Amino acid sequence: MIIVLERQIRDDHKDRIRRFLEQHGFRVREIVGEEETIFGAVGQLSIDHREVEVLPGVVRVIPISKPFKLASRELKREDTIVPVGDVKIGSGRVAVIAGPCSVENPDVMYETAEIVKRSGGVMLRGGAFKPRTSPYAFQGSGEDGLKLLREVGDHFGMPIVSEIVSSEHYDMMREYVDVFQIGTRNMQNFELLKVVGAGGMPVILKRGLAATIQEWLMAAEYLLAHGSEHVILCERGIRTFETATRNTLDISAIPVAKKLTHLPIMVDPSHATGIREKVSPVALASIAAGADGLLVEVHPRPEEALSDGPQTLFPEQFERLMRDIEALCPVVEKQLSRLPEKGERRPQFSGMRSPGSEVAAAGERSGREVADGERRAEELAVAFQGEHGAYSEIALRRFFQSDDIRSAPCSEFRDVFDSVLEGKTRFGVLPIENSLSGSIHENYDLLLQYPDLRIVGEIKIRIIHSLIAVPGAELQDIERVYSHPQGFAQCARFLAEHPDWERVPFYDTAGSVAHIAREGDKRCAAIAGAEAARAYGMHVIKEGLETNPQNYTRFVVLVREEYAATPNPDKASIVFTTSDTPGALFECLRVIAERKLNMKKLESRPILGKPWHPMFYVDMEIPSLEVFEAAYAALGEVAENLRLLGTYRAQ
């Protein structure tokens, strides 16, 4: 059962409720959510739920109808995030775990790990104990293999994953691995599940060859019931009559399980297909279906692999797959997880990921130098323009992915700049360009007016507009709709279907949702993101209103110049003017071209007070900071008023 507690419940009341449940044979787990705190009580005994409802501090009691209790979405509405060192799996992230099927010799393992890390994988996998169908096949290298896997993982700063096949190996393996994997043949080895669950370490649970989704979730329940809080499900294909592939990937299991459980779900496309050429398309389809990550087999020379060579990717195939995943992530509103560069220390607050983690870590180091190690809570805040639920707030959450970052709404774009400059917040997030409407010139102009600020990060998000109203309102009730003028323009086709609606321009899309929430009128609706509806307890009547689905906005992250230190930047933004002579712009662009820096944007803007004398903004990809610095110095010889807006990591 689920026991919803009062918001300001007294500690003695909470303790009394817990003791009452435990005395009646229930296991109790406390879950603190954004809106409420609950007790999840699971046990074989049953009592009249009214006995619990009358206890002081209890708001209501909700029975869990599913046979799996702790894994059920009824128990926990928010997605579970599983932390593994610097990696977090679940809730808006795509984490890729890769490596050979079996741990092999040191040369292969070091070479494979370098490929995985360079391409963007966040964890290293490898089997030391291999449950094989044939007793004559390679069975793994045992503890020696685990020692090697640990050594290689530590060298590259990657957590490691390996399969456990016997409960007798648990104590030995926990000294080496960061995540246990329970394979398909052991999904219903309940004694093994009990032992691994009691250990409390993160576990990847693969679906059995012929297991139903409910049986899969009941196996996860064993792990959760015996103590583990960090369970990751893995779909790896099931046995069907089809022989064209090794197994049949049940891709529909991903959205089905997502609705049933709060646990993160990964996919193993290598074992699902068994055919190298099929791995990448199936992997991308899994991400599109909602998977939180992938387990992929990769080897520097698959033809020499000790096991599963035909389904193992070549390095160039894995690198291409990672690039494709990165391109797909914004479409499905997720971000590709990345590790911090070796030697970069994570900030003290949790949940950051690269490149946001690198930005925050660099800012923290600079802050220590400036303030002798003292940091105020305000320095961990991020300013954005708009109300809570705005697309800018969505962008900052995806960039930093930290529960410890406080978002600070501002009325105007200029207020964001002022907030960062004055030290009220450490970071600022601003929209800079939209794929349909182009540059947001106000913010480009403000970048010039605040020379003490620098760009240290970039993120692109897809803009999906929804029609939002008060709970209980329906489409036929609407008479008036509020939104930012750009929101109206981007949803013109939908609005044309409702010519009778009065359109009321508002300064901010999320602000329009806040307005209708205050009004409480069923006749009023707003066009904004679904996140704004959740922020104000409103109801989404219809999603996907935008006329053109290729609607993306690019946001930049700003800090004060003394905090601007992004490790290994891959992009730079500059601004300059030229002399009023023929070929002046050409000479500047020649400097960029000769150093093979790929321009991503070139735009001119008028200079206030100097009609017909433009300033040029340039975004470019940079192979390294050293190459860019050399180009920047050369550009200073031919350009006028050259200024650096920032070097940063883009995604």
CA distance 57 to 313: 56
Does residue 553 carry a catalytic annotation? yes
Q: What long-range pairs does 236-243 form, CB within 8 A, spacing at least 24?
A: 236/184, 236/206, 236/207, 236/267, 236/268, 236/271, 236/272, 236/295, 237/268, 237/271, 237/272, 237/273, 238/207, 238/208, 238/209, 238/210, 238/211, 239/209, 239/210
CA-atom Rg of the chain in angstroms: 27
How many secondary structure helices (H) and strands (E) does the chain include? 21, 30
- Contacts of residue 368, defined as CB under 8 A and 6 or more positions apart, other chains included, come to 375
**For the chain, what percentages of helix, strand and coil (3-state, to nearest 5) are there?**
35, 25, 35
CA distance 270 to 317: 13
3-state secondary structure of 270: helix
User: Considering 68, 506, 555, 628, which one is annotated as catalytic?
Assistant: 555
CA distance 235 to 264: 11
Backbone angles phi, psi at 611, to 5 degrees: -55, 140
- Contacts of residue 403, defined as CB under 8 A and 6 or more positions apart, other chains included, come to 350, 351
Region of 612 on the Ramachandran plot (φ > 0 left; ψ -120 to 50 alpha; else beta): left
Nearest CA-CA partner of 491 in 528, 438, 444: 528
User: Cβ atoms within 10 A of the Cβ of 44, count?
Assistant: 6
Contact indicator for 162, 130 with CB cutoff of 8 Å: no
* Two tokens, residue 165: 């096949």
Any idea what DSSP says for residue 333?
A: T
Does residue 39 carry a catalytic annotation? no
- Contacts of residue 154, defined as CB under 8 A and 6 or more positions apart, other chains included, come to none
Any idea what DSSP says for residue 307?
A: S
User: Considering 184, 273, 553, 578, which one is annotated as catalytic?
Assistant: 553
CA distance 651 to 649: 7
- Please name the helix (run of DSSP H) or strand (run of DSSP E) that holds residue 204, with its range, or none: strand 203-206
- Dihedral (Cα; 448, 450, 452, 457), 10-degree rounding: -70
Residue 67, burial from CB neighbour count under 10 angstroms (0-12, 13-18, 19+): exposed
- Dihedral (Cα; 435, 440, 441, 444), 10-degree rounding: -100
Contact indicator for 578, 585 with CB cutoff of 8 Å: yes
CA distance 301 to 282: 22
Farthest-apart Cα atoms in the chain, separation: 88
DSSP string, 587-602: HHHHHHHHTT-EEEEE
Nearest CA-CA partner of 594 in 565, 637, 644: 637
Which residues are catalytically annotated?
553, 555
